[in-house]
């Protein structure tokens, strides 16, 4: 029988009531070719150290819960495999640029608040009766926003974004991509309501087009594209706003 392979996992631990600051703790775990980092963490929690705390849910890269820094890169732990990180040690810490609540759990309240602020739902142009039937949309109309609708709110892009790291008030790549998703949807009429978020300093204007957000996105949302194409939209709104009274943004 083949010998059981093991790998070293190092986790940056932090307990707010015991620790002044985080410290690395090392574990050695068995693994096989299909063991994800998440499964590794679950093994540690089940068999070695029940105090290890981390978020997870679906195990299949759709819920967005298990984001963390794995060997310095923001990744979903369910979507990252130990076989690709050999020989180890695998270094895991909480998602960058967020305050650490405990171990691998970060404060996500700020992100949620920002998400709420952009009205992430369709705002109809005019009231629509049920009898009018469903909205019809051409493939071209779908193409304009579909990519951005794939966001699973995993916040990896925030961990990738140094401008967010330097300024926690930055609305950020994910939320701005979702803002764009709704503005670009032909069924939506809420653009004017969302413009103030876009136009603020903390809106698109904190973005420096680093582009790392799009590199790390597990769903290929390309938030960098969403944010940066809206710089032109915001600039147009800025310069043309005095043309006519109730003129909406382009």
Partner 1 sequence: MSVVANRPRPYVRSMRGWWRRDPFFMRYMLREATAVGVLIYAIVLTVGVVRLAQGEAAWNGWLAALRSPWSVLLHLALLLAMMFHALTWFEIMPKTLPALLIGGRRVAAATITRGGWTATLVASGALFALAWWWGS
Partner 2 sequence: MKRSNAPVFWVLFGAGGMLAALLGPVLVLITGIAAPLGAGLPASLLDYAHLLTLARNGWGKACLFLVIALFAWHAMHRIFHSLHDLGLRTGALAKLACYGGALAITVVSAVSLLSLGF
Point out which residues bind partner 1 (CB under 8 A). Answer: 14, 16-17, 21-22, 72-73, 96-97, 99-102, 107-110, 112-113, 116, 139-140, 143-144, 162, 165-166, 208-212, 214-215, 222, 224-225, 228-229, 231-232
Q: Diameter of the chain by CA atoms?
A: 80
Nearer CB in complex with partner 1: 100/179: 100
Helix (H, G, I), strand (E, B) or coil at 103: coil
Q: Which does 122 bind (CB under 5 to 8 A by kind): partner 1, partner 2, none?
A: none
Helix (H, G, I), strand (E, B) or coil at 208: coil
CB of 104 to partner 1, least distance (A): 12
Nearer CB in complex with partner 2: 92/171: 171
Q: Are 9 and 24 in contact (CB under 8 A)?
A: no
Closest by CA position to 36, among listed 77, 85, 94, 89: 77
What are the residues binding partner 2 (CB under 8 A)? Answer: 162-163, 166, 196-197, 199-203, 205, 208, 231, 234-235, 238-239
Q: Which does 92 bind (CB under 5 to 8 A by kind): partner 2, partner 1, none?
A: none
Q: How many CB atoms lie within 10 A of CB 133?
A: 8
Q: Which does 165 bind (CB under 5 to 8 A by kind): partner 2, partner 1, none?
A: partner 1
Q: Are 81 and 36 in contact (CB under 8 A)?
A: yes
DSSP 73: E
Backbone angles phi, psi at 101, to 5 degrees: -80, -45
Q: Which does 43 bind (CB under 5 to 8 A by kind): partner 1, partner 2, none?
A: none
Q: Which does 23 bind (CB under 5 to 8 A by kind): partner 2, partner 1, none?
A: none
Task: Tell me the C-alpha distance between 17 and 209, whole Å.
Answer: 39
């Amino acid at each position: 029988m083949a010998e059981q392979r093991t790998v070293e996992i190092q986790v940056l631990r932090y307990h707010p009531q015991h620790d002044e600051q985080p410290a690395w703790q090392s574990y050695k775990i068995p693994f096989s070719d299909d063991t994800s980092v998440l499964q590794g963490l679950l093994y540690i929690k089940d068999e070695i150290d029940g105090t290890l705390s981390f978020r997870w849910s679906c195990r299949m890269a759709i819920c967005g819960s298990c984001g963390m820094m794995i060997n310095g890169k923001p990744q979903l732990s369910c979507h990252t495999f130990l076989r690709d990180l050999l020989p180890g040690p695998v270094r895991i810490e909480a998602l960058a640029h967020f305050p650490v609540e405990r171990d691998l759990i970060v404060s996500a309240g700020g992100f949620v608040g920002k998400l709420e602020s952009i009205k992430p739902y369709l705002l109809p142009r005019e009231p629509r009766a049920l009898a009018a039937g469903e909205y019809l949309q051409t493939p071209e109309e779908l193409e304009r926003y579909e990519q951005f609708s794939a966001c699973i709110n995993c916040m990896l892009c925030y961990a990738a974004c140094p401008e967010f790291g330097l300024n926690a008030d930055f609305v950020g790549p994910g939320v701005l991509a979702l803002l764009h998703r709704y503005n670009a949807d032909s069924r939506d009429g809420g653009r004017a309501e969302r413009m103030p978020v876009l136009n603020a300093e903390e809106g698109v204007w904190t973005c420096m087009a680093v582009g790392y957000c799009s590199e790390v996105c597990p769903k290929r949302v390309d938030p960098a594209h969403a944010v940066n194409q809206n710089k032109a939209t915001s600039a147009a709104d800025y310069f043309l706003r005095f043309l006519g009274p109730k003129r909406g943004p382009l």
